[in-house]
Structure 1
Amino acid sequence: MGSLKVHEFISLDGVIEAPVWTADYPFGPQMMEAVGGLTATSDAILLGRHTYEMFAPAWSTRTAEDDPGAPFFNETAKYVVSSTLEKADWNNSTVLGPYDPEAVRELKQRTQGIYVSGSATLVRALLADGLVDELHLFLYPVTLGQGQRLFPEGADGQKLALTTCERFEGGVAHLVYGPAAD
């Protein structure tokens, strides 16, 4: 069974929406290695509709010369969770339909690893259903004051266990969480 690994860029106040604010910080070799490690162990990408609609036009035209991550995003099987999207045109994309934890469990059974990026609504559901094996937060030393948060006000609390913590240039911290031991 494959593991499901989530990757989020997050501000100190928990905002993950439209992380264009990360451009003010270096995306150096350590961070490239960390993100590359996530994609290297994955043979599937799971995305919510909004993230799919942002990623498809951005990645589908890139080549390895443009960005070393382009082959992973363009060649890897992509699965989109959506109750409104009827078809997915980006290479190797399949619409799974509305969120169904059993469908995600079945996908985990068929894959070596699943990579999830962005997709806040989907990630919240995956966390609530205990389907996330690793939550990789790239924590930026900035507060934004507004924007969609990974853990919104009023959401059920969850316990996680910190498994890895490393510091990158520019003050970005890479925090990896897994399920808390009962």
Structure 2
Amino acid sequence: MGRIKVHEFTTLDGVIGAPLWTLDYGFTDQLGAEIGGLMSSCTAILLGRTTFQEFAPAWSGRTAEDDPGAPFFNESPKYVVSGTLETADWNNSTIIGRYDADTIRGLKARVDGDLYVSGSGTLVRALLADGLLDELHLFVYPLAVGEGPRLFPANGPRRALSLAGCTGLDNGVVHLTYAPEAPVTG
């Protein structure tokens, strides 16, 4: 059975949406190596609709010469969680319908290797709630932006995570790896 490995860029105050602020810190070789390391066991990609619609045009025209991650994004099977998307024209993409925990469990069982998730905040929150997320990789940027969507909203449930790794990167970003634990009550 494959694992679900999530990668999120986030600010110190927890904002994950439209991370254009990452550009100020550069995409260094060390950052690339960290992301590449977490992707190395992944053989498929799982995305929410919004992230899929952002990634498809951004990645489909890139080659390995443009970006070493291009072959992974363009050639890997991609599974899109959406109840509204009617077509998924990006190479090897399949719409699996609205979020359903049993469908995701079946996908984890079917895929030979791990599933990689980037962005897709709504999907990731659901995976966490249903205990389907296996690794959470947060790349924490040293700034606060005040407003924007958060992975853990203020009114969300209390959640315990177990630190599995921590690496400071050369551009000031910290890579935190967590393994989710059962929700804490009280």
Please report the TM-score for the alignment, with normalisation by the length of structure 1: 0.97
What CA distance in whole angstroms lies between the structure 1 residues aligned with 2:110 and 2:148? 35
Structure-1 residue corresponding to 2:58: 58
1:71-128 C-alpha deviation (Å, 9 max, x unpaired): 0000000000001001200000000000001111111111210000000000000001
CA contact (8 A) 1:161 1:181 kept: no
Structure 1 unaligned regions, length at least 5: none
Please report the TM-score for the alignment, with normalisation by the length of structure 2: 0.95
What CA distance in whole angstroms lies between the structure 1 residues aligned with 2:68 and 2:81? 26
What CA distance in whole angstroms lies between the structure 2 residues aligned with 1:33 and 1:64? 15
Structure-2 residue corresponding to 1:156: 157
1:121-177 C-alpha deviation (Å, 9 max, x unpaired): 000000011111100000000000111111112111111100100100121100000
CA contact (8 A) 1:12 1:143 kept: yes
Structure-1 residue corresponding to 2:92: 92
Matched residue type, 2:156: A
Structure-2 residue corresponding to 1:180: 181
SS of corresponding position for 2:133: coil
1:8-51 C-alpha deviation (Å, 9 max, x unpaired): 00000000000110011132222111111122211110000000
Structure-2 residue corresponding to 1:130: 131
Is 1:119 aligned to residue 93 of structure 2? no
CA contact (8 A) 2:47 2:120 kept: yes
Distance apart, 1:179 and its partner CA: 2.2
Matched residue type, 1:118: G
CA contact (8 A) 2:88 2:94 kept: yes
CA contact (8 A) 2:81 2:99 kept: yes
Question: After the TM superposition, which residues 1-182 of structure 1 pair with which residues of structure 2 at under 5 Å, given as runs?
Answer: 1-111=1-111, 112-180=113-181
4+ long deviations beyond 2 Å:
179-182
Give the superposed CA RMSD: 1.1
Identity %: 62
SS of corresponding position for 1:109: helix
Matched residue type, 2:24: D
Structure 2 unaligned regions, length at least 5: none
How many residues of Structure 1 are paired with residues of Structure 2 in the alignment? Answer: 182
